[in-house]
Amino acid sequence: MPNHVDPRCGRPRYDRSGLSVGIVHFGVGNFHRSHQAMFLDRLFERGENLDWAICGVGLLPGDRRMRDALAGQDTTYTLIERRPDGSSSARTIGAIVEYLLGPDDSERVLERLTDRATRIVSLTITEGGYNTSDTTGEFDGSNPAVRQDLRPGAAPATVFGYVVEGLARRRARGIPPFTVMSCDNLSSNGDVARKAFVAYARLRDPGLADWIDETVAFPNGMVDRITPVTTDADRAYVAREFAVEDAWPVLCEPFVQWVLEDHFTLGRPAFERVGVQVVADVAPYELMKLRLLNASHQALAYPGYLLGHRLAHEAASDSRLVELLTRYMDEEATPTLRLVPDIDLAAYKRSLLDRFANPYVRDTLARLATDASDRIPKFLLPVVHDRARLGQPAPMAALVVAGWAVFAADVNEPGAPDRQNAAVAAAVRRQQVDPIGFLRDTDLFGDLAERPVFADAFAASYRDIRAGGIAAALAARLGSSADVS
């Protein structure tokens, strides 16, 4: 465990030696550790479901750092919740009991997937990790990594290669299939995962694809907790405040939510006993969260950065951006939502502004701006498309997209990479000679370049930013209440 644990830092009261793996998780990052792993730790603390511990799997070169950090701490880590009043609570999380690095031992990962005890394979592989088109939803079978995994006898390198090979081995050995549970911020994330993994399997073996489609559960889920990347300042804070030497602690907000469809192949932990909302239909909740919280994060990121802010709470305390977010949520996003059971939408939207403004979470705008080409099409543009089909304007969203276009052209922020950098760079070049050139990538924007109600608004906002800066563009969109100073 992390060294020199302060008595104020809660420690597992359950015997970790009595835990056994029931879940294999791909993509052990900060969000997974503040969310799914935390909920399982709560269950274990009740003395329940001790056969549902996590085996984490890393597939990328950068995952070696996580493997090494957790290996030095018996796979435990410190989770710190930082409240808006400055107070904090800390706990050592013990739900991860094993961590495997695919590039080092792919066969060991595959055998863990094939083990009868593995009943759920969960994923936080990012919004862009499913290898599907934002406009068509189709799986990209031409991806070089996918083609490499499909070569006969190739050791898998992608999550598709691992999961499908694990399922193929289970089928061959007469072992029932595990559930594939996406925990990524995607609309209908389980449906997206089903389409991606079945499509990959079909490229390999149509019969296997049919079996996966017919027998494997892919529950939908909505996840929520603001969890920034860990910095050296965070490590120093944890050491100073709690006398804990942790190589990779996790700091997050106190709010947490998980709405999960009750659809599993081989059972599941009793998540509902520790605060998870297990429901029949996740769709209303996920639309609310993706179109309000996640899209608003995008609305903070680019205008906020161009205004000179670098931290999310600073941007969320800027009255101009507060009005931008409020008007986007009230006038553009909310009319596209379904009725959300047991949710007061007005209170939810107010709570988002409060959460964004928490000065102790210290989320960065660079993190929010990372992989914009994955996030904006999945969070913000569905609102725009819904409104455009009805001939309705979305001027606040248009300003955000124009802000992204300027950010992509002018800002060299190493903390905000984009996995589709070549496509974004091409869009930037088109924008230099065409007032709506940025919108002409149909993989990102669909037909929005052909819809004047949005294209004209984008062009006007882009022109205003270039002529007078983002403050002037905000003033033009928001009216006299937006101070350009």
Instruction: Read off the pLDDT of each residue in 36-51 and give the average, rounded to a whole number.
Output: 98
Looking at CATH, the fold of the domain delimited by 9-279 is given as Rossmann fold (3.40.50)
> What does the pLDDT read at residue 412?
87
* pLDDT-wise least confident of 159-163, 251-255, 338-342, 447-451: 338-342
The per-residue pLDDT for range 47-83, each reduced to its tens digit, is 999 999 999 999 998 899 999 999 999 999 999 999 9
Percent of the chain with pLDDT over 90: 94
- Residue 484 confidence class, pLDDT cut points 50, 70, 90: very low
The per-residue pLDDT for range 412-445, each reduced to its tens digit, is 898 899 999 999 999 999 999 999 999 999 999 9
* Residue 382 burial (CB count, 10 A): 18
**Domains of the chain by residue range:** 9-279, 283-478
> What does the pLDDT read at residue 363?
96
> What does the pLDDT read at residue 5?
60
Instruction: Read off the pLDDT of each residue in 451-464 and give the average, rounded to a whole number.
Output: 98
> What does the pLDDT read at residue 455?
98
Q: Give the pair of three-digit tokens for residue 434.
A: 């065409």
The per-residue pLDDT for range 77-133, each reduced to its tens digit, is 999 999 999 999 999 999 999 999 999 999 999 999 999 999 999 999 999 999 998
CA pair distance 335, 327, nearest whole angstrom: 12
- How many CA atoms within 13 Å lie on the side-chain side of 395? 14
CA pair distance 241, 293, nearest whole angstrom: 30
- Residue 485 confidence class, pLDDT cut points 50, 70, 90: very low
CA pair distance 384, 388, nearest whole angstrom: 6
What is the CATH superfamily name and number for domain 283-478?
A: N-(1-d-carboxylethyl)-l-norvaline Dehydrogenase; domain 2 (1.10.1040.10)
Instruction: Read off the pLDDT of each residue in 307-327 and give the average, rounded to a whole number.
Output: 98
Instruction: Read off the pLDDT of each residue in 252-263 and give the average, rounded to a whole number.
Output: 98
